[in-house]
Structure 1
């Protein structure tokens, strides 16, 4: 069974994209003081490594920020929506620290920082039917993390979705509460996108590093799939 299906309308916007997918089973994602202490170290180390992506004094002129802002002009989006990697790098640029969330989220955030790529994850057991990446029709149900009311997807927005609604809005901007990774997550799907050839090698290295880090931490190894547009 395919864990992620990519709709043809996504390739119409991003024909050179690759989507790196890692699926993992057998996780023990519980939170503890010892694990939090470990994750603080992992995140601090990753934050230091992310400094190499912030070479320009003006934040918006840094290469990774420019690349993803340009990508976000190609589809309908909610005002203020930014790529997840930009939000992480913004914290680094401001000298703000990262607090642990849960081990799996902390690990993928550390990889995102180290490699300068967006990374997201969902609980596979909470996804209804197949998970898709494509263009929203508009109105797909979506309740963001930390919110008490729905904020449905916009028509023309790039979203991850399933039979019940949107899973992640504006490509990789914000996850839904419904499918988020929690302490009880046993099976997960993790995704790293690259939108052109220049980003592909770094994104693939990142998904391999994430798989290795998950194995070192959880003792389980996942399955990697790289999805590209089929040649005609």
Structure 2
């Protein structure tokens, strides 16, 4: 059995947070999505880039409310220098006129939801997890090779908040950077998808984003939604694989 466990050290920092969790099973490969599916996803992303403009009130990235909320959140734990929440990176592209484009179908789906709702959304390959997945403040030194870098080890820092399993870090600085070992690929079959919310007033948005993400994953990736849950301080763990 594999679980997703949010530990006390996380809730001590963010008692009012909400985390939407989806377990998607039997996803189509990128090839199986086909040309038409890819075209529809590209159109979905194009629309999501436009919808993201609703959340942008200033050309100065730090003055936009979703970014401000996450910068404040990042001040509560140790981070790698320059690390920013994933939604800041997406909104920055919109501000600069460099819309977020297609990558691979599973990533395109969650990027579209992230842009529309201005909430961080991410995904990992469940089949790559070693034991339980935990969201916790780490003691540091957890093995990690960042996605999109030169392949060098970049272990976690003491006091850093991150997703961990028994082999090391899965995503560093909460939602800053995925690792190579657990990243979704064109051939991933089973996915752990997550939507993170630190603003109590936006829990409703998180629920709506969770519902929409599940529907899109079913429609475009042909997956079965095995789990769809909102994790809170009162309901802290989810079984993700029996």
TM-score norm. by structure 1 comes to 0.95
TM-score norm. by structure 2 comes to 0.91
- Check the 8 A contact 2:71/2:84 in 1, yes or no: yes
Post-superposition CA distance 1:116-145 (Å, at most 9, x none): 100010000000000000011100000001
Query: Is the aligned partner of 1:226 residue 2:239?
Result: no
SS at match of 2:156: coil
- Check the 8 A contact 2:28/2:222 in 1, yes or no: no
Q: What corresponds to 2:161 in structure 1?
A: 158
Q: What corresponds to 1:46 in structure 2?
A: 48
Q: What corresponds to 1:58 in structure 2?
A: 60
After superposing the two structures, state which structure 1 stretch, 72-81 or 48-57, moved more.
48-57
Superposed displacement of residue 38, structure 1 = 2.7
Listed as ranges, the gaps of 5+ residues in structure 1 are: none
- Check the 8 A contact 2:28/2:223 in 1, yes or no: no
Superposed displacement of residue 35, structure 1 = 4.0
Query: Is the aligned partner of 1:203 residue 2:194?
Result: no
Listed as ranges, the gaps of 5+ residues in structure 2 are: 236-242
Counterpart-to-counterpart distance in 2, 1:57 and 1:179: 34
1:64/1:196 CA distance change after superposition, 3 Å = closer
Q: What corresponds to 2:123 in structure 1?
A: 121
Q: What corresponds to 2:28 in structure 1?
A: 28
Counterpart-to-counterpart distance in 1, 2:29 and 2:94: 26
After superposing the two structures, state which structure 1 stretch, 122-131 or 55-64, moved more.
55-64
Count, aligned residues? 231
Q: What corresponds to 1:14 in structure 2?
A: 14
Counterpart-to-counterpart distance in 2, 1:210 and 1:92: 21
Superposition RMSD on alpha carbons, in Å? 1.4
Superposition map of 1:99-114 within 5 A: 99-114=101-116
